Copies of this chain bind each other. A is one copy, B any other.
């Protein structure tokens, strides 16, 4: 795996495979601005921001963004594509702790110990904004809306995970799969994508790992929902036919 280059390159720098810096990477004109940035910021504040968040990075499908133990330097905002985060036990067993889609933050696990506690791997070719955390911290001390936004992002992650614990701790296989589909649907919708028809970027095995189920069980539940006319499944393409029915499962 490549180390992540974060520091802005001087103007004369040759083109790089990894992090790139150019004028088009800025927040004030980003399509994701509203999902990514706090409201209550003036144009002036945005100008400040553009000076600080300078690099973006492409990650190809299957490529590792960061690994457990990597020194923590930046958090990331997913501009395009999607990722999975994976935790590994000593004995080699691994579990996916999250799928992360466009507009969502990534990497906040690293803040606590200055190093990452999971692996982040692209599920498809993706693009990220790299936000150097030290810079972000300074910014938070100057701009109150930014401070609040960062706190919300972190707290949001805490809530997301406790919802997951609920799922893993007290739902049966059928409920887990339906909750998963509804969750993906709702997050896509929040990002103005279709919430009724979407492509799952992960395999059945990855879904299973995330949901605490075996891939066969995931597959059986999807077939079951299809038989019940709640969804339409064509491999990775899912169409939700009866969201309420799914919710009632």
Contact = CB atoms under 8 A, between A and B. Distances in A.
Given A117-B159, A141-B147, A154-B155, A170 B212 contact: yes
Nearest to A213: B169
A161 interface: yes
A29 B215 CA distance: 55
A247 to B, nearest CB: 9
Contacts of A113: 159
Main secondary structure of the interface of A (DSSP, over half): helix
A194 B170 CA distance: 32
Contacts of A159: 109, 112-113, 117
Interface string A155-170: 1111101111110111
Given A141-B140, A141-B147, A110 B166 contact: no
B170 A89 contact: yes
Contacts of A170: 89, 93-95, 209, 212
Oligomer copy total? 2
Interface in A105-128: 108-113, 117-118
A102 interface: no
Contact of A155 (B94, B108, B137, B168): B108
Interface string A130-172: 0000000100111010011001101111110111111011100
A109 B155 contact: yes
Instruction: State which size class the interface on A falls in.
Output: 35 or more
Given A111-B154, A151-B111, A158-B158, A165 B166 contact: no
Interface in A185-230: 209-212
Given A144-B141, A148-B137, A155 B112 contact: yes
Contacts of A117: 159, 162
The 4 closest A-B pairs by CB, nearest first: A111-B155, A112-B155, A169-B212, A168-B168
